[in-house]
Structure 1
Amino acid sequence: MSQSLKRLKVKLRIAVVQLNPRIGHVDQTLARINSIVSRIERYRPDIVVFPEFALSGYSFHSRSHIEPYLSQPTNGPAWDICQRISKRLSCITVMGYPEIVRESSQKAYNSAIVVNANGELVFNYRKAFLYYTEEEWGCSENPAGFQTFDLPFYQKACDSDGRLYDVSLKSAIGICMDLSPYKFQAPFYDFEFSSFHSEHSTELILFPMAWLHSISATRESKNPEQQKKEIAQSQQSLGFQSHGSQGEYQLDILLNDGTCIKESPSAVTCDLPDVQVKSAFSHPAEPDLTNVDYWILRFMPLLAYRQRKNWFSGGLLATVLKKFQEIRTTYMGASLEKPWSFEHKNTVAVMCNRCGVEDGTTVYAGSSSVFKFNGKYGNFEEELDSSNRSVEVLGSLGKGYEGVLLRDVEIEVLREVDDKAIAIVPERT
């Protein structure tokens, strides 16, 4: 049996489901999930991704508050609905949920399960970087830190001759705060999550989130009661309920076969004097581009950036990398061997955020998106946002509504293949 190294194109169809769950309303959220899934079933997605704490709601403030929602990876409402969706659509399903270890430790985690088309658990990831809200209910950090795993796909890769192959993609889960500096205390430009995955050549990143809009009242807020009042006025102006989608969903479907469906709830605006609050709630069917650009910035090691060549030729990296020598081989995407270690590689990142308001203070940014980092233009790009040509924003949902974003994506990978049209999986890390 002969083997050869080939560049393969892996073609996948990915559905990103944006939800607005509310604590104590699991059954209602499940009903809306079933409604959304029924809208995309005919398109046969390969992967369906749901947000962080997709069923339970997020804003828990004590262990007793979250206790009724804690479950094990293969026992609970998240497991049940993921199994049903995976078997029904013959797809991989990803969903965030609150996990309990029912052993002597009784530790709790912010986790996400990955379920394959047979309804089997492929991977259970635990969030590594925690937000302060999770500390209120005793959440533990992932002791393994960031991780990768192999995600197999049957006959989804093809070579230049059109020959099909089975392939496994080096994949990862990230959950919300994982993308941020550790506890907001680490240096901003360490880019811990994206540096890890750049160095490990991760090809597919699935990212459940409960990412806040900047108008949320947090423990750093100077006048949280005033913010709460303004948020309530904004919701009332739009006729928004405290949970759900107001009976309407946003559908954004663009496929390679020419299918194009754009459905949004009736256009509404928020007519309030406060510019910041108005920007969060006006035009809720449009994405919050400030957040989209920030997510892209946090993937800086995967972005082309012309300045890296100067760091490399000027010998500036040796001193910086010396302090990371036990845990890091790159800094902001540059290594001692080449200016940009990600060049000529591909990674697709699926950012699945939630929307809505909790506690009257916590406003979620929605704007679920699909990014492709194409590994090109390394010597040209200067901006670290969506204008950078090395990142393709394949689509984004609005900031205010539940709905689904459906896209065809293509990931180029190098694989040793044999004469039976089987691609050899990458080394596991």
Structure 2
Amino acid sequence: MATTTTLRVGVVQFAPRIGKVQANIAKARELCKGLTPRCVDLLCFPEMIFTGYVFPDAASISPYLEHPRTGPTSTFCAELARRLECYVTAGFPEHSEHDSNSLAAPLPLPLPSPATTAPPTSTPTSSPHNHTGPIGFNSAVLYSPTGEPLTLYRKSNLFETDLSWAAPGSGFTVLDLPPPLGKTTIAICNDLNVHNSAVWNSLEDGPYELARHCVREETRLLVLLNAWLKARNEDDEGGDEGEAKRTEEGEDNGDDDVELEPNWETLNWWAQRLRPTWAHHHPTITEKENGDQRTEPQINGSSIEPKDLVVVACNRFGDEGGKTFVGSSAMLMMRRGSGRPRLLHAMGEREEGIGIWTVPVRL
């Protein structure tokens, strides 16, 4: 009989001010000051949370690109991980001069392949106009409970805002972490969508790149670090694929219900983009290539039991450059073959704070 344990995840949601790195870190410290050691197993911060996200071009983001070990995001994560004795992950803009060769040696888990590293640059403050290619990566770092860096993930499916400065990463990976986390995949926002060269065929076919990765690798925990936008209207696809409502920064429309309620369209979008992890039957890559019409899920020719996938989507809110971020951080449970995703916890669209969420997981 399978045994169970409890997974405890902390999700930090607030509205950073673009370019105000130290002020945003101070805000995060204030939100986290009440947390005690070992109160959570994993603490998550969203995509590029301390720099802000909507930089119009490479020149504007260049001064904020960070080293993945010594930059302000990593320094903060390491300190917090040591204090709370938990894993900590956060998104940040990485400077491309620090390639994976310079990082790989001290880290026990693999980093992106050097073959996909962007051309090196001279200094973090040099003008991006002198470069012919990307000057950085949209990245996420994970720190261990002892404050050691474990791995660096680089966003694979870039959004239009990333394209002026970032190179894509080398693809999704899975980390085999100690219980209760288990096999963990870290992804960033638009990774839920598809590469620009891919065409969405149908609800059945996708392509569901990230979801198929999680099924193939038997991922148990998917962590999405987002800067997800609010769709302008119901026809927009939302998030990294849709335009945001244009609002003046700091404007308060007084709608308390919107502040406290999650954006249900966004939650539905996230769940639909992970359809193969919960649908009654969704053909795997192996099945489709072999023309196999069997209803029993197959991976690499072997039958598998339905697996539970815990999905943690950590998002920010606030306004930048006419874009509105939708908040609505959430925890969902995806059970292979169940026919429906389950929403376990969610925050409101403009709810500031930390969600401390627990879920039983099978060992």
Normalising by structure 2, report the TM-score.
Answer: 0.79
Report how many residues are paired.
321
Alignment counterpart, residue 371 of structure 1, candidates 306, 319, 332: 332
- Give 1:102 shift: 2.2
- Provide the aligned C-alpha RMSD in A: 3.3
**AA partner of residue 327 (structure 2):** G
Other-structure match for 1:269: 255
Other-structure match for 1:350: 312
Greater than 6 Å deviation, 4+ residue runs: 216-222, 329-333
Q: 1:221 to 1:302 in 2, by over 3 A?
A: closer
Q: 1:130 to 1:79 in 2, by over 3 A?
A: same
Q: 1:93 to 1:68 in 2, by over 3 A?
A: same
The unaligned stretches of length 5 or more in structure 2 are: 99-118, 122-134
Counterparts of 2:177 and 2:155 in 1: how far apart (Å)?
A: 19
Q: 1:367 to 1:60 in 2, by over 3 A?
A: same
The unaligned stretches of length 5 or more in structure 1 are: 1-5, 157-167, 239-267, 271-281, 324-328, 382-387, 414-429
- Give 1:54 shift: 0.9
**AA partner of residue 49 (structure 1):** C
Q: 1:333 to 1:356 in 2, by over 3 A?
A: farther
Other-structure match for 1:18: 13
- Give 1:180 shift: 0.7
Given that residues 203 and 346 in structure 1 are in contact (C-alpha distance below 8 angstroms), is that contact kept between their aligned partners in structure 2? yes
- State whether structure 2 residue 149 is matched by structure 1 residue 121: yes
Given that residues 16 and 50 in structure 1 are in contact (C-alpha distance below 8 angstroms), is that contact kept between their aligned partners in structure 2? yes
Percent identical: 26
User: CA deviation digits over 1:22-78, x for unaligned, max 9?
Assistant: 222112211211111123337711110000001000011222211111112101110
Which residues in structure 2 correspond to 1:323-342 (within 5 Å)?
A: 334-335=297-298
Given that residues 13 and 407 in structure 1 are in contact (C-alpha distance below 8 angstroms), is that contact kept between their aligned partners in structure 2? yes
Other-structure match for 1:79: 74
User: CA deviation digits over 1:140-181, x for unaligned, max 9?
Assistant: 0112x111112224xx5xxxxxxxxxxx71111010000012
Higher relative contact order (CA closer than 8 Å, sequence separation 6+)? 1
User: CA deviation digits over 1:333-383, x for unaligned, max 9?
Assistant: 954889x97753111111001111101x21111100011223363xxx3xx
Counterparts of 1:112 and 1:180 in 2: how far apart (Å)?
A: 18
Which structure has the bigger radius of gyration?
A: 1
Normalising by structure 1, report the TM-score.
Answer: 0.67
Counterparts of 1:366 and 1:286 in 2: how far apart (Å)?
A: 10
Q: Which moved more, 1:177-186 or 1:294-303?
A: 177-186
- Give 1:214 shift: 0.2
Counterparts of 2:55 and 2:174 in 1: how far apart (Å)?
A: 29
Q: 1:303 to 1:269 in 2, by over 3 A?
A: same
Which residues in structure 2 correspond to 1:25-174 (within 5 Å)?
A: 25-41=20-36, 44-102=39-97, 105-106=120-121, 107-137=135-165, 139-143=166-170, 145-153=171-179, 156=180, 169-174=182-187
Other-structure match for 1:406: 356
Secondary structure (helix, strand or coil) at the match of 2:162 reads: helix
Q: 1:332 to 1:302 in 2, by over 3 A?
A: farther
Alignment counterpart, residue 267 of structure 2, candidates 287, 292, 310: 292
Counterparts of 2:276 and 2:311 in 1: how far apart (Å)?
A: 13
